[in-house]
Amino acid sequence: MLGIALLQLATEYLGTQDSGRFLSKGITLAVGLPPLIVWAFAVFRWATRKGVGSSGPLFVGAITSGVFFAGLLSATRAASLSIPVLRPHYGMWGATDVLRVGFGMGLTSFGLWALAFVVPFAVEDARLRALQADQLRTQAQLAQLRSHLEPHFLLNTLNAIAGLVTEDPRKACTLIGTLGDLLRDSAPEAELQTIDEQIQWLRRYAQILEERHAGHLAFDWQIGDDTRAALVPSMLLQPLVENAVKHGALMRAGGGEIRVRTEVAGGAKLVCTVEDNGPGVADRATRPGAFGLVSVRRRLALRYASAASLRLESSPAGTRSIVELPLESGHLS
């Protein structure tokens, strides 16, 4: 702010050689800038705490700064007139001219302050608000995912258990225990979980599906040992497994198979593949209402931006969903 103001004064002085105007404006800036900055920050902090928005305080601040500088310049100019050597020789200043120039200096100084401090803050605040909104949308998507999972899945599982109560009570009891464990862990509080934790949950999920579709569905797990500690968004693979079952394996006459594979590629990328041997899907855009695929892509984009992806590969021999994301390892508390 000071550098721009001094550059403006120096340019004017070189053009007019008017030391009186230069001195009066210089004194005005030296006296006026510190309280202007302190006052502007105080008002801006107050507006931020009160949540009143920035437009009103900025407008009031600009007008107040203009009036403040107009008064300062008028006082310093009057003082400089009492010193003969500092009297203007490039045209006299009238009272109106002094007030107009002072008001302009105040507006310019306040504008420079706003440009230097308020605009970057507003940009960062907008970025943080967008990020928070995205996080809230992700949480809503997770809630929708769980609500999508539980009612129909729970009803069908209970029907399967009811059919086993008289035929195979031991298996019915096992299935009830598996369902309880599944529902208990279906709402992870952490944003991330290890591949090992997610696969354990999916194994219980698959066990229930295999019982419900006895003889028509099988799972194959190919989990790389070097991927078990890798961190991924919670419940990331569940929609892909659900799609592979509903739109893939169960569409295969005589029964289908789901293969879940995790591996490390290139030393820094985790690749998770969910593959079925169904009849494949048409080569077209995601169908309307395909919440699972949309949610997976959205969550990957939110956390990893362009560093992660989900792609589908389909043929009459089956469909493969491939998730690629940066390899992160760690232990969650």
Q: What is the pLDDT of residue 287?
A: 47
Mean pLDDT (10-residue bins), the chain, 333 residues:
67 64 74 79 73 69 81 74 58 68 78 73 71 69 58 71 81 84 70 91 88 87 95 89 89 90 92 94 55 80 88 91 90 45
Q: Which two tokens stand for residue 316?
A: 């009459």
Please report the pLDDT score of residue 34 as a whole number: 81
pLDDT in the model for residue 307: 92
The one-letter code for the residue type at 195 is I
Residues 6 or more apart from 3 whose CB is under 8 A from it?
Answer: none
CA 139/CA 174 separation, integer angstroms: 32
pLDDT value for 57? 72
Q: Tally the residues of the chain.
A: 333
Q: Could you give all domains of the chain from N- to C-terminal order, each with its CATH number? A: 2-129 (no CATH), 188-326 (3.30.565.10)
Output the pLDDT for position 91.
52
pLDDT of residue 153: 64
Q: What is the pLDDT of residue 217?
A: 92
pLDDT at residue 69 in the model: 79
Output the pLDDT for position 15: 60
pTM over 0.85: no
